[in-house]
A and B are shown apart, each in its own frame.
Chain A
Amino acid sequence: MGTITVTPDPFNLVEFDTATIRRLVEEIAGSLGLPTDVDISLTVDEAVPHPIVATMADVVDGAIDLWCTGGCFEARDKTRAFSERHARAEITAMLLRTRDRLSGGFESAPSDAELLPGERTAWDCYTMGRVGALGHNVHRQKRRYDFRLQHGFTDAADAAFDRLWATPSTTWGAIREVCVETGAADRPKPKLPADLVRRGSRV
């Protein structure tokens, strides 16, 4: 049986409860059919408030390594308060992406720190479409706007978004093809690293 670790324990800067988050991870991992012998660690950077929302979901040496800002789980209308609705959606998304990495056609995808913004938003679109289909809190237009920022405010980008959102299954290769199709693959490489916020939490 794999272990589930949530850090920090306890939270000091926000009104989050480690046991509650751990219980959510366990419940969602079970419902998604993740292998039960895989270790899962989730680090919540409690210093980073909403609206700085960022998540990373990797598989390192066979174990699931999740990281997110506290802002991801924070109630939008109450400073420092925990929102189970947002936490459920974000944890589901992170675990779906690690399931993709383990056995879902994304085995060859680079780590989250190495993904380009277009690749990441395309994968997120595929992920959030599935999160929404599972009945969680997902705002489709919010995700469309995120996608448009990286893929363009064009009909081609919107068509790609709709396709990715609705598909029950795709692969890393298909995600890269979408980036070519919308032109996101031709955009200049960002000046800032994709894991900039996470690097800060290691200071």
Chain B
Amino acid sequence: MKRHLPESELARDERFRRNKIEDQIFDPRNIAMSTRDLGPAQMAVDRPAISERSRSLMHGIFVGEIQALEGAGRTCYDFDDADAPFALKLDMARQCWDESRHVEISCKLAEHMGSDIGEYGESTFLYAAACNPDPVMRLCGVNRALEGLAIDVFSSMKAFGESTQDPILTYCEDWMLADEVTHVKMGSDWLRRLTDTDPDRRERALEFQRTVDKVFSLGGFRGESEENPIQITRRFRELAGFSTEECDELAEIAAQAMEDARTMVAAAAAAS
């Protein structure tokens, strides 16, 4: 079997359509939308198009779960024991089991919310982060950065489920959230163990994590204000091995990503 499978070779059936990230980045509507007032972006029942926004977000999470399963599975297989100890691969195998369950939960949740598998396009950027040839980078990019983002998303959606008294959404998010804390903690633990005697490698891995965190703060998607639909969840991140300083740093990265997006939009508007 082939090692290091590129995202272009991921197997999908005819229900799935892939989105190109460049289509989203260079969408000409972005500039016009940046000047619109749609109210606070945080998920709440009185926000515009809240049900379709929730469905679309949860479908994005569903395809993210598939890719997380694929990424953890690849890490079990892509490396020799010298690069990735057997105990790490066992953790990744356990994560595969969790992600499989999350895919099933997400399918049931989609039925509840009224969406179909493949209804919305799939972006494969999570799996792209899982293609790094260094297992430590993968753990930082996927387990600490992207599974960390999953903590924020599940926590925000759980709060939305509680506010609307939707028991199915609330429980689905709570169960998945519990697993994500474990996945992030696996990333934190293995980062420390594998780079214990190599501070340069640790710093490179943390830098990769910062880059992924910035990309996935998506110009204001995540943060700590009402302007951000997804809230940074400090409590669960601390349970997953993040220090207070690391949480502060993430909040700063998210704020910077939002500011960068505003600057880019202003520059594009001035140029048009």
> Which residues in B have their C-beta under 8 angstroms from that of A71?
49, 52
User: A47 touching B33 by the CB < 8 A rule?
Assistant: yes
User: B53 touching A52 by the CB < 8 A rule?
Assistant: yes
Q: Mark interface residues in B44-66 (1 if CB within 8 Å of A CB, else 0).
A: 01111111110110000000000
Complex partner residue of A192 from B46, B51, B56, CB under 8 angstroms:
B46
Which size bracket describes the interface of B in this complex? 35 or more
Is A134's beta carbon under 8 Å from chain B? no
User: B47 touching A149 by the CB < 8 A rule?
Assistant: no
Is A79's beta carbon under 8 Å from chain B? yes
Report if A54-B46 is in contact (Cβ < 8 Å); known contacts: A153-B166, A203-B36.
no
When chains A and B are docked, how far (Å) is the Cα of A47 from the Cα of B166? Answer: 32
Q: Mark interface residues in A139-175 (1 if CB within 8 Å of B CB, else 0).
A: 1111111101110110000000000000000000000
Question: A47 CB to closest chain B CB, in angstroms?
Answer: 4
Report if A192-B47 is in contact (Cβ < 8 Å); known contacts: A79-B19, A200-B38.
yes
Is A91's beta carbon under 8 Å from chain B? no
When chains A and B are docked, how far (Å) is the Cα of A70 from the Cα of B49? Answer: 13
User: A78 touching B121 by the CB < 8 A rule?
Assistant: yes
Within 8 A of A (CB), among B49-85: 49-53, 55-56
Complex partner residue of A77 from B17, B36, B46, CB under 8 angstroms:
B17
Question: B59 CB to closest chain A CB, in angstroms?
Answer: 9
Does more than half of chain B's interface fall in helix, strand or loop, or is it mixed?
loop
Binding site for A on B (CB under 8 A): 17, 19, 23-24, 27-29, 32-33, 35-39, 45-53, 55-56, 111-116, 118-121, 164-168
Complex partner residue of A54 from B48, B120, B165, CB under 8 angstroms:
B48
Question: A183 CB to closest chain B CB, in angstroms?
Answer: 11
> Which residues in B have their C-beta under 8 angstroms from that of A148?
164, 166
Q: Mark interface residues in A36-56 (1 if CB within 8 Å of B CB, else 0).
A: 000000000011111111100
Is A80's beta carbon under 8 Å from chain B? yes
> Of all chain A residues, which has the CB nearest B111?
A141
User: A144 touching B48 by the CB < 8 A rule?
Assistant: no
Does more than half of chain A's interface fall in helix, strand or loop, or is it mixed?
loop
Give 21 A-B contacts (CB < 8 Å), ordered by A residue: A47-B29, A47-B33, A48-B36, A49-B33, A52-B38, A52-B48, A52-B52, A53-B52, A54-B48, A71-B52, A77-B119, A78-B121, A145-B55, A145-B112, A149-B51, A149-B164, A192-B48, A196-B37, A196-B39, A200-B36, A200-B38
When chains A and B are docked, how far (Å) is the Cα of A79 from the Cα of B21? Answer: 10
Report if A197-B17 is in contact (Cβ < 8 Å); known contacts: A46-B29, A141-B111, A153-B165.
no
Complex partner residue of B29 from A48, A139, A142, CB under 8 angstroms:
A48
Known contacts A13-B28, A46-B29, then 6 further A-B pairs from the complex at CB < 8 Å, ordered by chain A residue: A47-B29, A47-B33, A76-B120, A77-B118, A142-B51, A203-B36
User: B32 touching A77 by the CB < 8 A rule?
Assistant: no
Binding site for B on A (CB under 8 A): 12-14, 46-54, 69-71, 76-80, 117, 139-146, 148-150, 152-153, 190-192, 196-197, 199-201, 203
> Which residues in B have their C-beta under 8 angstroms from that of A139?
114-116
When chains A and B are docked, how far (Å) is the Cα of A143 from the Cα of B55? Answer: 12
Question: B56 CB to closest chain A CB, in angstroms?
Answer: 4
